[in-house]
Chains A and B, each alone.
Chain A
Amino acid sequence: MSPREIIVYLLLGLAALIVLASSAGILVMRDPYQKLHYVSPVAVVAPVVVGLAVLIQSGFTEDSAQTWLALVFVLAGGPVLTHATIRAARIRAEGDWRARRR
């Protein structure tokens, strides 16, 4: 097994571990505010690790480019979705705060 393969397997193991731990956290936490903390590792950290593994395995190829294109959408979308979800949860729970301010 070459050093490159060892690094790739380590990165893949790390990504799988992050995803498994985060999904357990999503199941265990009590409300959406707490659960959302566990979406960030899945949507931000794990995609970068997977992208690095593919990049090291394939090099600078079309496959790596498509992988990073997909992961950029996930990376860019994660914080936006988190913000939209937390906003929706708050409005559902307490009403629209902007209406009260007027």
Chain B
Amino acid sequence: MNGFVIAAIAMLAAIIPCGIAVVRGKVMDALVAYEAISAIVVMVLILLAEGFKRSGEFELGVLLAVLLFGSGLVFARFLERWL
């Protein structure tokens, strides 16, 4: 286990407070916590790919970054008016 994997585990632990905010907060609080979680998860995937020396798995981070950006915008737009 190297420093990259340890940093990834620490960042995964940081998802727990955000998860509590998602579950217990109001809708907009949950959206804010979701955006933080999405940024954390992208970093975790990159750290794990580097930590385990798997070049192919860097693509997961790239894809997730693009998809989570779009999904965050969709959530914000729908929560603005329709939900």
User: Which A residues lie at the B interface, using CB under 8 A?
Assistant: 5, 8-9, 12-13, 15-16, 19-20, 22-24, 26-27, 31-32, 35-36, 38-39, 42-43, 46-47, 50, 53-54, 57-58, 62-63, 66-67, 69-71, 73-74, 76-78, 80-82, 84-85, 87-89, 91-92
Which residues of the partner chain A approach B14 to less than 8 Å between Cβ atoms? 16, 19-20, 22-23
From known contacts A23-B40, A32-B32, A46-B43, infer whether A84 and B73 are also in contact, taking CB-CB under 8 Å. Answer: yes
Count A-B contacts at CB 8 Å. Answer: 162
- How many residues on the B side are at the interface (Cβ–Cβ under 8 A)? 49
Kindly provide the distance from the CB of A22 to the nearest chain B CB, expressed in whole angstroms: 7
> What secondary structure prevails in chain A residues at the interface with B?
helix
User: Which B residues lie at the A interface, using CB under 8 A?
Assistant: 3-4, 6-7, 10-11, 13-18, 20-21, 26-29, 31-33, 35-36, 39-40, 42-43, 45-47, 49-50, 55, 58-59, 61-62, 64-66, 68-69, 72-73, 76-77, 79-81
